[in-house]
Amino acid sequence: MMTAAVGLPLVAVVAWIGEWPFALVLAAIALLASAEFVHGWLIPSVPIRQVIGQGPTFAIPAVIVAGVHADVRFLWVGIGFAAVFAVLGYTPTDAFGPRKPFRVYCWLTLYLGLLLSALVLVRDAENGREWFFLGLLATFAVDTGAYTVGRAIGRHKMAPRISPKKTWEGAVGGYVAGTATVFALNALFDTGVGTGTIWHLAVALPPAAIIGDLIASWMKRRMGVKDASGLLPGHGGFMDRLDSVLVVFPVLYLFLQLRVL
């Protein structure tokens, strides 16, 4: 509770300010999250606090700060990298080996650096404050709805090999909660779009949050851990808090830039 009481207001304040303060806070978060990866996949025997700041992990904050002045082409770079990896027969699974540090750092740069930069890009877009909090609160609604409904009536497993506790009933609960939150916040905020166009986001963001959660669960299972780390007392690690956000905000940013709205 103490972690949330301190962390959430801090994120809200810097998000409201925007630009460099927000980018720098995300850079610090990216640095800590990248340390969780390096600790888990490369040197699990070393305490995570000794991993923070080692070598290439500094490349991650650099990508975040670069996002302040980027545009939609920035995200297409990541899509291009993914396409090249696909052509060469490379998959993210190849990165998760104890003796493949270069691949781990490449994957970190794409997964953490590129996707977290979308938070900066959304915040600096037109009506960015409103869009940022809409995306963030919708993500929280999906996670909360999925957890609550899944615990109450969850029976049918969604992906038992990846995350045994996730159920289809929970996913539906999260979808409904996320969709309702998008519509409610659109009515509350001055986003500049109508009810018809907000349907696109109401349909797209909840599945993005669920997919982000599943991706992180899959990676943690590969890593052999329940929580990414203990850096956030009572909340696991930074990746445990960022999993859904890392997919939701790139989707939101692409919607904004491609003028679907």
Give residue 50's domain range.
2-257
Per-residue pLDDT at 72 exceeds 60: no
Q: For the chain, what is the mean pLDDT?
A: 75
Residue 55 zone, left/alpha/beta (φ > 0; ψ -120 to 50; rest)? left
Per-residue pLDDT at 7 exceeds 60: no
Residues 6+ apart with CB under 8 A from 166: 146, 150, 157, 158, 159, 213, 214, 217
Per-residue pLDDT tens digits for 202-238? 999 999 999 998 888 887 777 665 554 455 444 456 7
Per-residue pLDDT tens digits for 11-56? 778 888 877 788 888 888 887 777 777 776 666 666 666 666 555 5
Overall domain count for the chain: 1
